[in-house]
């Protein structure tokens, strides 16, 4: 059986399997995707909440420490006298005595004159007294506002090449006039309250950073970026939003193009933004791992679903497949083999029962039609058409010998005229019964005319045929015409051949013998003379 036939046979199973599997797989995939999406959103909310909590704590800590450092400078500035401003050595001794202040400022403590020159600094560095710092932003802003200032980051000359920032406070005399500026420097590369920020890690590679309002990087794990780098507008859309006032969590790309979950929090004490970058490949690692597990699980599930559904559909549709094959081959079957054998009370069983009932009804009608087309309505014997068909079949066959008998009811027309056609019909049916009793079931007994009958006897030689003729005559003498009591007279003729091809000639010879039998019995009322041999 070729693949096309197999495909047709199993198409219902394949279609049902495909439909059911497609539905299950789509539903499962949708459920998996929805679950992953929900899990990812929940995880994102959790991580975002944790990051914002961390940033809030960090921002509050920085604000607190900046405020503490600024207040410390302010308190120390109140102890500076005009004499210290006028005497660098006195100023130096004063600065060296500020041990509690120096613990906060690891990049030195300075006293600047009103015109922006260094009066003294601690720790002492030679050749620095009198240096002009009037161009520094912290000096200019302190002079301009007369208030304490937390400077923007700059490259320190106290520790050459080091990024730093200064916290300054104005020094006033008894009349409130500004006479000097006291400042403390913070080294942004040291592990101080700002430098510690670069050491904080989120998971494995997440980090914190600090950016000033003018986009200068104040603190970053990559310390080469501190002060030397400004974040260009548009380089990070989320940072742009944060500098404009946004606080929260969003997905973004860092300076290296790494996708991260970024959080931002603004400081209260100064226009700075503290941020956190948490690479997505770490933040969503559990999601990605679950996605891989889901992919494997879905692949395995698909295979199992297809196998299980195929087996289930196969078991459900196997009967339909057998039924379809039975219907396909039904034209080559006959009798009880045409019925589909199924003991089931489900829908398929009902279809099978209906089908069997239709086949039985159709076979019955076909048998009736075949009987009508091959039998004589009055006598019940085969008709002329069937007899001719059997003549052709035996003539082309190999059965030998074959005998053929011709029979005729004597004076049927006269009998009909005298007694009526109904009585004649009785006479015909009586002869039919005689012939049926005289010959075998496998012999072809036919009424080929009004009062003529022909019989084919396959495998019967001349001796056996003669015996059959004697049975006919004996039964004819026994049976009288039932309606009138007359003696029944039947003329008979017989011929036998060894060559089936000569069967038509034998029929003609038997007809001649029947005619001679009829003539001879009319001339003399005695038993018919021996039949002439047929050669």
| H or E stretch covering 157 | none
- Return the pLDDT at 487: 59
| H or E stretch covering 134 | none
Rounded Cα–Cα distance for residues 482 and 502 (Å)? 39
Highest mean pLDDT (candidates 258-272, 318-332, 488-502): 488-502
Rounded Cα–Cα distance for residues 331 and 357 (Å)? 16
Q: Under a CB-based contact definition with an 8 Å cutoff, are residues 424 and 381 in contact?
A: no
Q: What pTM did the predictor assign? A: 0.53
Tell me how far the alpha carbon of residue 260 is from its chain's centroid.
34
Q: Under a CB-based contact definition with an 8 Å cutoff, are residues 453 and 447 in contact?
A: yes
DSSP 8-state code for residue 132: B
Higher local confidence (pLDDT), 65 or 382: 382
Task: Describe the crossing of helices 347-374 and 285-328 by its angle, rounded to 10 degrees.
Answer: 20
Higher local confidence (pLDDT), 1 or 206: 206
Q: Compute the Cα dihedral for 413, 419, 421, 425 and give only its sign.
A: negative
Rounded Cα–Cα distance for residues 151 and 140 (Å)? 10
Burial of 461 (0-12, 13-18, 19+ CB in 10 A): middle
Nearest CA among 498, 503, 519, 416 for reference residue 456:
503
Question: Mean per-residue pLDDT for 447-464?
Answer: 94
Cα dihedral 415, 419, 420, 422 in deg (nearest 10)? -90
Rounded Cα–Cα distance for residues 252 and 263 (Å)? 10
| H or E stretch covering 402 | strand 402-409
- Return the pLDDT at 255: 61
Is the per-residue pLDDT at 481 higher than 60? no
Q: Under a CB-based contact definition with an 8 Å cutoff, are residues 117 and 139 in contact?
A: no
Is the per-residue pLDDT at 471 higher than 50? yes
Burial of 299 (0-12, 13-18, 19+ CB in 10 A): exposed
- pLDDT confidence of 1, banded at 50, 70, 90? very low
- Return the pLDDT at 476: 86
> What digits encode the pLDDT tens for the residues 71-123?
999 999 999 999 999 999 999 999 999 887 888 888 889 999 999 999 999 99
Report helix, strand and coil shares of the chain as percent, to nearest 5.
50, 20, 30
- pLDDT confidence of 5, banded at 50, 70, 90? very low
Burial of 94 (0-12, 13-18, 19+ CB in 10 A): buried
- Return the pLDDT at 250: 85
Nearest CA among 253, 256, 260, 250 for reference residue 280:
260
- Return the pLDDT at 461: 94
User: What is the DSSP track for 1-32?
Assistant: --HHHHHHHTHHHHHHHHHHHHHHHHHHHHHH
Three-class SS state of 514: helix
Q: List residues bridging with 133 in a β-sheet.
A: none
| H or E stretch covering 404 | strand 402-409
Average of per-residue pLDDT values in the chain: 84
Which regions of 254-310 does DSSP assign to beta strands (E)? 259-266, 272-279
Question: Mean per-residue pLDDT for 279-302?
Answer: 79
Is the per-residue pLDDT at 352 higher than 90? no
Nearest CA among 388, 382, 472 for reference residue 431:
472
> What digits encode the pLDDT tens for the residues 42-82?
878 888 888 888 888 888 888 888 888 899 999 999 999 99
Question: Mean per-residue pLDDT for 466-486?
Answer: 77
> What digits encode the pLDDT tens for the residues 130-184?
999 999 998 999 999 999 999 888 888 877 878 888 999 999 999 999 999 999 9
| H or E stretch covering 126 | none
């Amino acid at each position: 059986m070729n693949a096309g036939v197999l495909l047709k046979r199993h198409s219902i199973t394949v279609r049902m399997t495909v439909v059911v599997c497609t539905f299950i797989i789509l539903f499962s995939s949708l459920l998996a995707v929805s679950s992953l999406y929900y899990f990812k959103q929940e995880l994102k909310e959790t991580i975002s909440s944790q990051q914002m909590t961390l940033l809030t704590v960090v921002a509050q800590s920085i604000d607190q420490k900046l405020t503490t450092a600024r207040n410390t400078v302010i308190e120390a500035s109140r102890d500076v006298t005009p004499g210290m401003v006028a005497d660098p050595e006195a100023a130096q001794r004063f600065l060296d005595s500020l041990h509690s202040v120096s613990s906060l400022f690891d990049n030195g403590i300075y006293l600047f004159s009103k015109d922006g020159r260094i009066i003294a600094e601690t720790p002492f560095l030679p050749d620095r007294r009198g240096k002009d710092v009037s161009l520094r932003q912290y000096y200019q802003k302190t002079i301009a506002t007369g208030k304490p200032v937390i400077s923007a980051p700059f490259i320190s000359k106290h520790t050459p090449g080091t990024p730093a920032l200064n916290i300054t406070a104005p020094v006033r005399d008894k009349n409130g006039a500004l006479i000097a500026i006291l400042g403390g420097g913070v080294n942004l590369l040291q592990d101080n309250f700002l430098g510690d920020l670069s050491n904080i890690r989120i998971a494995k590679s997440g980090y914190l950073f600090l950016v000033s309002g003018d986009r200068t990087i104040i603190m970053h794990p990559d310390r080469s970026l501190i002060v030397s780098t400004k974040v260009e507008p548009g380089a990070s859309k989320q940072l742009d939003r944060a500098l404009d006032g946004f606080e929260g969590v969003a997905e973004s790309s860092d300076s290296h193009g790494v996708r991260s979950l970024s959080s931002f929090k603004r400081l209260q004490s100064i226009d700075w933004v503290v941020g956190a970058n948490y690479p997505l490949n770490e933040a969503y690692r559990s999601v990605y791992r679950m996605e891989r597990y889901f992919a494997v699980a879905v692949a395995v599930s698909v295979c199992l679903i297809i196998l299980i559904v195929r087996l289930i559909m196969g078991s459900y549709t196997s009967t339909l497949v057998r039924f379809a094959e039975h219907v396909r081959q039904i034209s080559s079957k006959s009798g009880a083999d045409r019925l589909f054998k199924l003991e089931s009370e489900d829908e398929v069983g009902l279809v099978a029962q209906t089908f069997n009932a239709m086949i039985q009804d159709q076979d019955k009608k076909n048998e009736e039609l075949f009987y009508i087309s091959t039998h004589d309505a009055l006598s019940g014997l085969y008709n002329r058409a069937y007899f001719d068909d059997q003549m052709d079949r035996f003539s082309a066959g190999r059965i030998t010998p074959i005998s053929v008998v011709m029979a005729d009811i004597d004076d049927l027309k006269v009998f009909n005229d005298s007694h009526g056609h109904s009585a004649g019909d009785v006479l015909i049916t009586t002869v039919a019964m005689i012939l049926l009793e005289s010959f075998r079931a496998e012999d072809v007994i036919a009424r080929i005319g009004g009062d003529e009958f022909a019989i084919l006897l396959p495998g019967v030689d001349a001796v056996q045929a003669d015996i059959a003729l004697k049975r006919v005559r004996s039964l004819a003498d026994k049976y009288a015409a039932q309606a009138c009591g007359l003696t029944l007279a039947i003329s008979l003729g017989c011929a036998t051949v060894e060559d089936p091809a000569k069967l038509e000639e034998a029929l003609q010879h038997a007809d001649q013998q029947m005619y001679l039998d009829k003539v001879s019995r009319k001339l003399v009322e005695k038993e018919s003379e021996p039949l002439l041999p047929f050669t």
